[in-house]
Amino acid sequence: MSVEDTTIRSGFTALFSLWQSAAVALALEICSVVFTREKATRNDPETTVTANWHSVITKSVSDFIHSGNIFKVALLAYPALIILRIVGNSAITVSDGVGSERSLPIGLISTFSLTTDSTDIRSQAFLERRLQSNMIVRLEQLYKSPWGFVAPPNLLIPLPTEELNLTSKVIYESDVLSFHHDCQWQAPDNYSDNAVTVENRTWAARIGSNATALSDSRIVERGSSIIFLIPEDDNFTGDSVYLFLGANATISPTLNSTSNNTWIDLSNLPTIYNPDGFTSRFTTLRSLRAPLATLLVCRPDLEYLSRRVLLRPTANHSEPDITILSHVDVPSPGNIDPQAARALFTTVLNTTIMSDDPINLTRGSLNTNWISTTMLLDKIDDETRVSYPPLDRKAINENVDKYTLSALKAFTSGYRGPLPGLRSKGGVFARSVNGEFTSRRLALWTSFPFAVLHTVLFGVVGIVLAVLAYPMGIPRL
């Protein structure tokens, strides 16, 4: 809640408390006047006889029966006014706003929306969203500038595809995806013909098995690389695979050269060795070669859920704007397709890891960008070093989770870019669900019994006040 909303709430509460106190005080004063007038109309003879409790009760009942109607109403209202004076100030509060229900389009993650077929018009949207994910990762992870709604850690939650405008919060049902990456090091089974084979699967990358297999005439420098791999068969399992090319303390990165380039230290990791060097080309077509290669395979451990979700934007960027209301399963709206989710987790960081930095932020001969360097390498802030080992597995797992969560933001709110023939009113790649909206208009709120009591009491007080204002017009009954 913003400071402005808090101030308005406090003002409403203070205003009502003042009005409540003044109204009850006036009502009690009216009752006092009624009691005084009723007593003045009586001519009860004074008695010196000590009355017992029976006579006191009998006389009180008799006096009440023979009293005027205005006095009876005032006497009955008096205890209620006393209670109202005590509890009334806290009985009415300021609610978050006015509630309503209507259809809500939310993000759809499906194979229809994640096609990589260049002949399909939808591939344009997939490419644009991967470029957008690269931008988001850089904003959030490099520059610590939150983009869009703050998501809870390790949860992929599709968001509304429409602008919420004056809505302060919305509750809806959605498929939810929980993930926790577990990254393991392993040596490739085979490495040739620009492809890596591991566990009987082939993963493609812009690499060559030796330094002489390049089609261009550029000089191949000695250096290290981090390359994102994609499965050639498009049989996505959700695993993301990173190829590291480097050296270790035993096998020199210089390949018997006297040069002293910056390199990635693969000591104590499972690797394969090529005396001619493994070659990589980055987006700039700079070619580097290194003697050792290893793989980092990150499995996301995906868990598919269906939950009631609360989206409530806050000004605090350290708290999630979207949360799961209950861990009880709800009927699935079908807005996350498991096959599409696996494809997304396998490819979502590809553009981010393989894109050039706006300026060269890496030192020495490294085919990396600042994203892959900060996400996967250790001691990068030590400018005196020439070798950089990977982070420990725990830190890598946490970083892959965080960077993936940022990259996924480009895929959780549908697509609003140009895509002729596929635009719809709620945006492209969306699924409609029922949404419970609360507007930003603040409203006074109380319970129904209190509202009835409050209305009746002050209605009666109003009638009594009118009668007292014109006492001669209404004869005493």
pLDDT digits (tens, 9 = 90+) for 364-412: 678 888 999 999 999 876 777 778 999 999 999 999 999 999 999 999 8
Q: How confident is the model at residue 358 (pLDDT cuts 50, 70, 90)?
A: confident
- Indicate whether 129 pLDDT > 50: yes
What is the sign, positive or negative, of the torsion defined by CA atoms of 399, 404, 409, 410?
positive
Distance CA(190)–CA(414), nearest Å, equals 39
> What does the DSSP 8-state code read for residue 112?
G
Contact (CB, 8 A) for 317 and 262? no
Distance CA(290)–CA(223), nearest Å, equals 6
Lowest mean per-residue pLDDT among 9-23, 166-180, 265-279:
9-23
Percent of the chain with pLDDT over 70: 57
- List 198's β-bridge partners, or say none: 201
Higher per-residue confidence, 436 vs 26: 436
The secondary structure of 92-146 as a DSSP string is -EEES--EEEEEEEEE-B-GGGS---TTSTHHHHHHHHHHHHHHHHIIIIIS---
In sequence order, the 6+-apart residues with CB closer than 8 A to the CB of 328 are: 307, 308
Residue type, position 319, single letter: E
Distance CA(36)–CA(331), nearest Å, equals 67
Distance CA(309)–CA(332), nearest Å, equals 12
Distance CA(477)–CA(474), nearest Å, equals 9
The whole-model pTM stands at 0.72
Higher per-residue confidence, 42 vs 303: 303
Q: How confident is the model at residue 298 (pLDDT cuts 50, 70, 90)?
A: very high
Q: What is the pLDDT of residues 224-253, one digit of tens each?
A: 889 999 898 878 899 999 999 999 988 877
- Indicate whether 20 pLDDT > 50: yes
- Indicate whether 290 pLDDT > 50: yes
Q: What is the mean pLDDT of residues 43-66?
A: 55
Helices 122-137 and 393-408, axial angle in degrees (round to 10): 130
In sequence order, the 6+-apart residues with CB closer than 8 A to the CB of 121 are: 419, 420, 421, 422
- Indicate whether 427 pLDDT > 80: no
Distance CA(291)–CA(234), nearest Å, equals 29
Distance CA(264)–CA(260), nearest Å, equals 12
- List 55's β-bridge partners, or say none: none
Q: What is the pLDDT of residues 143-194, one digit of tens each?
A: 999 888 899 999 999 999 877 766 778 999 999 999 999 999 999 988 776 7
Among candidates 338, 432, 401, 349, which has minimal Cα distance to 152? 401
Token reading at 205: 């990358």
- Indicate whether 328 pLDDT > 70: yes
Token reading at 154: 């390790």
Q: How confident is the model at residue 72 (pLDDT cuts 50, 70, 90)?
A: low
Among candidates 289, 284, 323, 288, which has minimal Cα distance to 307? 323
Return the H-helix or E-strand segment holding 429: none
Distance CA(322)–CA(452), nearest Å, equals 37
Rg (CA), the chain: 37
> What does the DSSP 8-state code read for residue 321?
S
Token reading at 26: 């006036």
